[in-house]
Amino acid sequence: EAGVTQFPSHSVIEKGQTVTLRCDPISGHDNLYWYRRVMGKEIKFLLHFVKESKQDESGMPNNRFLAERTGGTYSTLKVQPAELEDSGVYFCASSRDRAGELFFGEGSRLTVL
């Protein structure tokens, strides 16, 4: 069974540009989460999907971040326009049940210059 996959593994962009990160959860996992770790800080929750519906987006930093999960399969996280403080590692995780075991992807490292 394939795990959670994320693309790209690393993205380097300039301030003001747009980046879109993609996450493919484990097949059959309705729950999909986005997390972020910025330099030197703990991993922080961004948002939670159940199928295509956003259940909780309280962790999204501001309106430059847009997450979608059309069709309830893969999800995208778009940052537009990117700022320097957006640099970090963006993790995606999925679980079968709402409070079940979380399985993480390898992360997408974003560097904004």
Partner 1 sequence: KQEVTQIPAALSVPEGENLVLNCSFTDSAIYNLQWFRQDPGKGLTSLLLIQSSQREQTSGRLNASLDKSSGRSTLYIAASQPGDSATYLCAVRPNNNDMRFGAGTRLTVKP
Residues that bind partner 1 (CB under 8 A): 4, 33, 35, 42-45, 48, 55-56, 58-59, 91, 93, 98-107
**CB-wise, 1 or 101, nearer to partner 1?**
101
User: Minimum CB separation from partner 1 for residue 32, in Å?
Assistant: 12
DSSP label at 27? Answer: T
Taking alpha carbons only, the member of 90, 40, 95, 32 closest to residue 61 is 90
Comparing CB distances to partner 1, the nearer of 65 and 91 is 91
Q: Considering beta carbons, is residue 62 or 99 the nearer one to partner 1?
A: 99
Burial class for 17, CB neighbours closer than 10 Å (0-12, 13-18, 19+): middle
CA distance 79 to 101: 28
Q: How far is the CB of 56 from partner 1 (least distance, A)?
A: 4
Nearer to partner 1, 86 or 105 (CB): 105
Give the separation between CA 44 and CA 39, rounded to whole angstroms: 12
